[in-house]
Amino acid sequence: MRAIERRAFLLAALAVAPLASCSPAPSASLVQRRRAGTLVRAGQDRTGHPRDVFGGLRIDAKVPPEDTTGDLYIIEHTDEAKGGPPRHVHHAQDEWFYVLKGAYRIDIGEERFDLSPGDSILAPREVPHVWTHVSEGEGRLIIAFQPAGQMESFLGALAEMGSAPAPEVMASLFASHGMTMLGAPLPVG
């Protein structure tokens, strides 16, 4: 190898080396699962522990963080009534929404979007957003968080509460899971 080619190769290798150390090496069981595939049937939760939050929504993990060494968390979110979370910002996760059923209104930054089945939208990290189910009957979303961060733990904590807490308790819960609560939910009417 000529000196200039060798130098370029070494510089490229040094540039990529830190990236390789950003994610832990997958465990042997994770590698085996990836080779085998992971089927999650309709209406099922991959972990076997679906979450019911505030009596009106169900969260099924479709791809839990441990399946991707924390790189991704995908849930199916089922709303039995109109409504949604308070305006908030994720400091470390991008959040992607895909509507399966019903109608949703989503504000990302200063823009408002109305979504129907088959529509999707990305809420980038560090951009405030809020969303709400606005149609009659059941609504269903696929939501992906990348990286997973503390979202699984956050949704578990919500499920343990039983009913919606006071705003200051909710703000503290958001903060302890890497998010900031910025305001009220969107009106549904």
**Superfamily name with CATH number, domain 44-181:** Jelly Rolls (2.60.120.10)
How far apart CA 177 and CA 154 sit, in angstroms, is 6
Does 42 have pLDDT greater than 50? Answer: yes
Helices (H), 21-140: 28-36
Range in 30-34, 134-138, 143-147 the model is least confident about: 30-34
How far apart CA 104 and CA 116 sit, in angstroms, is 7
Which range has highest mean pLDDT (24-33, 157-166, 171-180)? 171-180
Per the omega criterion (within 30 degrees of 0), is the bond before 147 cis?
A: yes
The confidence score (pLDDT) of residue 21 equals 41
Does 4 have pLDDT greater than 60? Answer: no
- Asked if 105 contacts 113 with a C-beta cutoff of 8 angstroms, the reply is yes
How far apart CA 65 and CA 10 sit, in angstroms, is 34
How far apart CA 168 and CA 6 sit, in angstroms, is 59
How far apart CA 123 and CA 97 sit, in angstroms, is 8
How far apart CA 157 and CA 162 sit, in angstroms, is 10
The confidence score (pLDDT) of residue 10 equals 46
Confidence of residue 61 (pLDDT cuts 50, 70, 90): very high
How far apart CA 158 and CA 171 sit, in angstroms, is 12
CA atoms within 13 A on the CB side of 180: 8
